[in-house]
Amino acid sequence: MSPKYNKFNKGKTKGYFPINKWICDTSKHPVITSTSKCASSTPKALFSQQESQMLIGLSNTLQCSERDAVRIALYEASKSASNAYESAFMYATAMSTEKGHQGRSSSKQWNLPKGEQIAATNAANELGITGAEFVRLSIIWLQQGIRKDEIRSIQNCKIISGDKAAHQWSKENHGKPASEQVASLKKALNEAQQLINYMDEIQADERDARKKESR
């Protein structure tokens, strides 16, 4: 496991904690509190298996449905389009050659309010990218930004670190025996974390290689 993730695996509490992730209470986010009807839709976008897993992870972190997670990602990326582009376009572009962002075969589309759709379209146009690329960009940027601790808060919401979540989980489950379900969850999450770490290392190697070629 990559050293940068070790801080979440020290001590009894974190070692037993089955949900090694960041959590965000999005109940007060403008997207969640909006009463606008979801009458429009995002462009159809293709996703790789790893990108689909990233969306699942983002939905879990934001503690909301997949559609609302996408809406929040689009909302946040529309406000920080330049930063999102610089951080994640190399992964989101239709021509991406990055590990885990090739071989896209899963087509997805979500309904959202007209105002959110217009804001996302305008942001994509300003960046000079397609609507589908902006959808992928938003998801990848927000998911990676939270996981790498580069994004620590979003509109009207506070992101809770893995440490704090672990202590809260331990407090709520003190004295309870470990169940089969928890053991299975720990194993699945450990395998997923190993995949994420592997992808990070591959991407780091590719960036280093590109830097050497440009010298």
Segment 21-60, tens digit of pLDDT = 678 889 999 999 999 999 999 999 999 999 999 999 999 9
Strands 106-108 and 40-41: unpaired
Give the DSSP letter of residue 151: -
**196 pLDDT exceeds 60?**
yes
- Residue 161 Cα to chain centre, angstroms: 14
- With CA atoms as reference, report the closest residue to 53 among 200, 205, 204, 195: 195
8 three-state secondary structure: helix
Average pLDDT over residues 90-100: 95
63 contacts 11 by C-beta, under 8 angstroms: no
Please report, as a single letter, which amino acid is at residue 33. T
Residue with tokens 């450990």: 190
The whole-number pLDDT of residue 186 equals 61
Average pLDDT of every residue of the chain: 82
What is the Cα–Cα distance from 35 to 33, expressed in whole angstroms? 6
Average pLDDT over residues 163-177: 64
Torsion-angle region of residue 5: left (phi > 0), alpha (psi -120 to 50) or beta?
alpha
Angle at 156 between CA 151 and CA 162, to 5 degrees: 45
What is the helix, strand, coil percentage profile of the chain, to 5? 60, 10, 30
39 contacts 116 by C-beta, under 8 angstroms: no
**67 pLDDT exceeds 50?**
yes
Task: Write the CB contacts of 175 (distance below 8 Å, at least 6 apart in sequence).
Answer: none
What is the Cα–Cα distance from 167 to 14, expressed in whole angstroms? 8
Output the furthest CA–CA distance in the chain (Å, rounded).
58
**158 pLDDT exceeds 60?**
yes
Residue-wise pLDDT for 107-146, tens only, equals: 999 999 999 999 999 999 999 999 999 999 999 999 999 9
159: pLDDT confidence band, cut at 50, 70 and 90?
confident
The whole-number pLDDT of residue 148 equals 86
The whole-number pLDDT of residue 44 equals 96
Burial class from Cβ neighbours inside 10 Å (0-12, 13-18, 19+) for residue 177 reads exposed
Average pLDDT over residues 163-176: 64
Give the DSSP letter of residue 156: T
- pTM for the model: 0.70
**Helical H segments across 93-152, by residue range:** 114-127, 131-147
